[in-house]
Chains A and B, each alone.
Chain A
Amino acid sequence: AQSVTQLDSQVPVFEEAPVELRCNYSSSVSVYLFWYVQYPNQGLQLLLKYLSGSTLVKGINGFEAEFNKSQTSFHLRKPSVHISDTAEYFCAVSPTGFQKLVFGTGTRLLVSP
């Protein structure tokens, strides 16, 4: 079975500051890794995914994440955040791709002026 831990339930940050949202996972098999964003009253939108290849993955809206197999982590980063990045961010894993995603509990990013 797989599990995902997002230790930070909420991350406050000032506009134009860098941010890192942490994600650690546990799995006995190889997994694929994902970050989703959920804006208020909207569905989930895929930010980026790691399926294979380079461990540094670039996504939409200037976000990137690095897969670290030894530390079983997939932290999300952005060098300079905007007010519009305020949202809930979910890390997810799956051994099979997009099917049966196992999600973390989410991290609320609060960007203030």
Chain B
Amino acid sequence: GAGVSQSPSNKVTEKGKDVELRCDPISGHTALYWYRQSLGQGLEFLIYFQGNSAPDKSGLPSDRFSAERTGGSVSTLTIQRTQQEDSAVYLCASSLGDRRGTEAFFGQGTRLTVV
């Protein structure tokens, strides 16, 4: 597609439920990133995929968070047993590669509200 696509754009879920957030990167982009934008924490790095390499999960806040990337394209961020503090906008970005100058393009995000 023309840009990074995220779905759903908004998600309201009950505390304790699991949620899945989807990211479709720009076609041909081998690198994919997830960030979280919350009122208390600003923008935080969560996880980074590059090609077939093992993902960098160093930013995931707890073991309730996981992400996968199937076929080197679409990525799903899963949050298990959601808590109210998980409420945030989850942003996905992709880039052509991991060379330092390769720009990362962001999607519009998924706004998650845990009630």
| Closest residue on chain B to residue A45 by CB atoms | B106
Contact of B33 among A43, A46, A49, A99 (CB under 8 A): A99
Q: How many A-B residue pairs have CB under 8 A?
A: 66
Interface size class of B (residues with CB under 8 A): 20 to 34
Tell me if B1 is interfacial: C-beta within 8 Å of chain A: no
Known: A98-B95, A99-B48, A106-B42. A43 touches B102 (CB 8 A): no
Tell me if A83 is interfacial: C-beta within 8 Å of chain B: no
| A97 & B102 in contact (Cβ 8 Å cutoff) | yes
| Closest residue on chain B to residue A44 by CB atoms | B106
B92-104: CB near A (< 8 Å → 1, else 0) gives 0101001111111
Instruction: Tally chain A residues at the interface, Cβ within 8 Å.
Output: 23
Tell me if A103 is interfacial: C-beta within 8 Å of chain B: yes
| A51 & B100 in contact (Cβ 8 Å cutoff) | yes
Tell me if B31 is interfacial: C-beta within 8 Å of chain A: yes
Binding site for B on A (CB under 8 A): 32, 36, 41-46, 49, 51, 90, 92, 96-106
16 A–B contacts from the bound complex (CB under 8 Å): A32-B100, A42-B108, A43-B4, A43-B107, A43-B108, A44-B106, A96-B98, A98-B31, A98-B104, A99-B33, A99-B50, A101-B43, A102-B45, A103-B43, A103-B44, A106-B43
Nearest first, the 7 A-B pairs at minimum CB distance are: A97-B100, A103-B43, A43-B106, A98-B104, A44-B106, A105-B42, A43-B108
